[in-house]
Structure 1
Amino acid sequence: MVKFFQVLMVFLVFGVPSSLLAQKFNNAYKLEIKKATSDIEIDGIMDEQSWQDAEVADHFFMILPIDTSFAEVLTDVRMTYDEKNIYIFVNNYHGAPGPYMVESLRRDFSFTKNDNFLLFMDPFDDQTNGFSFGSNAAGAQWDGIMYNGGSVDLSWDNKWLSSVKNYEDRWTFEAAIPFKSIRYKKGIREWGINFSRNDLKTTEKSSWAPVPRQFPSASLAYTGNLVWDQLPPAASTNISLIPYALAGTTKNYNVGDAAGNRHEVGLDAKIALGSSLNLDLTVNPDFSQVEVDLQVTNLDRFELFFPERRQFFLENGDIFANFGYENIRPFFSRRIGLLAPIDFGARLSGKINRDWRLSAMNMQTGQVKEIGLPAQNFTVVGLQRRVFSRSNISAIFVNKESLDYTPDLSLGVLSLFSVQQEPGL
């Protein structure tokens, strides 16, 4: 046992020998991306010279119902870029006569219930983390953060443009993804990439780089390579400020009370510290724009962990969320701000280098005198170290502490490091 921990510490401190890092399964699949030779309008029409000059990715492989042949439904993909955006154009040809099949126009639709095209990119080339973008045949967008080598968190939404156009023999998808909307490793000319197509009329799922049918098409272990003709543009200053102001007045005419006024202001900020590290700041945040949860009937004795939907907590949130089990977690971000308002907070997260990921957060909540809840501070630090080709070792530190707490015995006594109250004395 002692020797095992000695070897583990060597891996953490000095890294993993290159002989233990396996080559990607689909390393031979390469798509060259060249700088655009003309301006591109996102309209779903392939009439720009840049698309004529771009290399074509076609000859997709079938994943379902079998994974031993080329796809019968034809798809071809082109990609290019300029100083601001990555562009993609896709021709999705019909595999059988009849209209396309779409179940929903909502964002982040159900993959299995729609004719759709998805892009999976690994801009860190670590086969673990990345981004996904796509659309169904009616134009509804899909986007999410990828983690754990193939999981997609669809709560993450960002700014990008897309257009879908339908023809008798095909539907087209064209999109512009800003470099500012994603994170990527500086100084590398090959990103992991794969394209996935779902066609319900033929019940066929396919991908450009072959994926065995027992794996999801999102699996980053089976990506091919997007080869840049030159290094992607260096990350420029990227600061996003989202202020808000809220005002209102209320009055109970039945009781005859005087009118009560309400006024609040707050600010969210996102600051890119390089191409792969991000700083989030918030002061008196307002989460009224967050999508509501689905109603769930809980028939067991354990509480439900609804997914985090607040944008401040989403990016690289998997570093915290992957600890524990479904019903037992050392940290659950939705507890912050559940009983008390958030005064301010900061979170630093992202890739430090190829092998290390970090997420460090400090949040301060306000006092709630009505229930005897003091101001509380939450500090969480998660660190993830890549070992071998697609494995990770992670550690987490969690501290929640009540500040300047003088207990009100009529409301119960609160532990300095717990939200549980003891009965009043």
Structure 2
Amino acid sequence: MQSTAVVAIAGLAALLGAAPADAQSSLAGDTIRISRAPGSILVDGDLSDEGWRNATRVEKWYEINPGDNVVPPVRSVGYLTYDDRFLYVGFEFDDPNPSAIRAPLGDHDSLNGQSDDFGGIFLDSLGSFHTATEFFVNAHNVQYDAVTDDGSGENPAPDFFWDSATRITEHGWTLEIRIPFSSLRYKSIDPQTWGTRANTGTRSPRRGFRATATAPCAVRTGSSASSICRRAATS
């Protein structure tokens, strides 16, 4: 992506075919604009690099499990920027008890979305509103990637080229993700308009599983909030 034009990314919410039209409209996320990184970014879990200085901040999150699109009890912040070769995604996840963060080490794609502390992003780089690519990481940098679509659901078989790094801090943990544009399919237009949704999950012995996202989520009776939210990113 050699263009210096602004990249526009729209937050995604409602699952097409699963929520009524008025719900799809009311759950649509905000549109944000991303500027080019003013400097280099070393993917090491430290968000103090010059390249993050003008990154777009995403500070509006929703608790989607167990809450129903309510204000989360702890803060999360997402960051988005890019250069000629990569899309960069950064996160700061606050945790009142960092020593209790759960993130077992494991092989690629072994991340457990119901037991690990994790974060990441869905990318609909074609703007189709039907498909997305997933990039998720637990707090000890175990990666999970997959593709998902309206028809067949989630498929973790494809493996993509991308980098990530995490750090557990006294306030919680941080995550950096670097995704080559060569790993993604997108239209030859300028500026680019993509769909995206960031998600994070935590597991507390006292509170159980808690999930938050950067766009509200439609939850249907008989379906788990987790599955609906993951599919919602493809709408």
Output the TM-score relative to the length of structure 2: 0.78
1:205 aligned onto 2:211: yes
2: CA distance, partners of 1:150 / 1:25: 26
2: CA distance, partners of 1:71 / 1:49: 29
3-state SS of paired residue (2:91): strand
Q: Is the 8 A contact 1:117 1:196 kept in 2?
A: yes
Alignment equivalent of 1:184, drawn from 142, 167, 186: 186
2: CA distance, partners of 1:69 / 1:169: 22
Aligned to 2:124: 122
2: CA distance, partners of 1:88 / 1:175: 5
1: CA distance, partners of 2:177 / 2:69: 31
3-state SS of paired residue (2:100): coil
1:30 aligned onto 2:31: yes
1: CA distance, partners of 2:132 / 2:166: 24
Aligned residue type for 2:77: D
Task: For CA contacts below 8 A with separation 6 or more, give which structure has more relative contact order.
Answer: 2
Deviations 1:150-196 (A, max 9, x none): 83211111111111111121111101100011111222532111011
2: CA distance, partners of 1:114 / 1:49: 30
Q: Is the 8 A contact 2:93 2:173 kept in 1?
A: yes
3-state SS of paired residue (1:172): strand
Q: Is the 8 A contact 1:63 1:211 kept in 2?
A: yes
Judging changes above 3 Å, is the alpha-carbon distance between structure 1 residues 120 and 177 closer, same or farther for their aligned structure 2 residues?
same
2: CA distance, partners of 1:44 / 1:80: 15
Percent sequence identity is 23
- Root-mean-square deviation (CA, aligned residues, Å) is 2.3
2: CA distance, partners of 1:213 / 1:85: 33
1: CA distance, partners of 2:193 / 2:86: 17
Q: Is the 8 A contact 1:120 1:131 kept in 2?
A: yes
1:50 aligned onto 2:56: no
1:317-396 correspondence runs (5 A): none
Which of the two has higher C-alpha Rg? 1
Aligned to 1:40: 41
Aligned residue type for 1:162: S
Output the TM-score relative to the length of structure 1: 0.45
Judging changes above 3 Å, is the alpha-carbon distance between structure 1 residues 195 and 149 closer, same or farther for their aligned structure 2 residues?
farther
Q: Is the 8 A contact 1:120 1:132 kept in 2?
A: yes
3-state SS of paired residue (1:125): coil
3-state SS of paired residue (1:35): coil
Aligned residues: 203
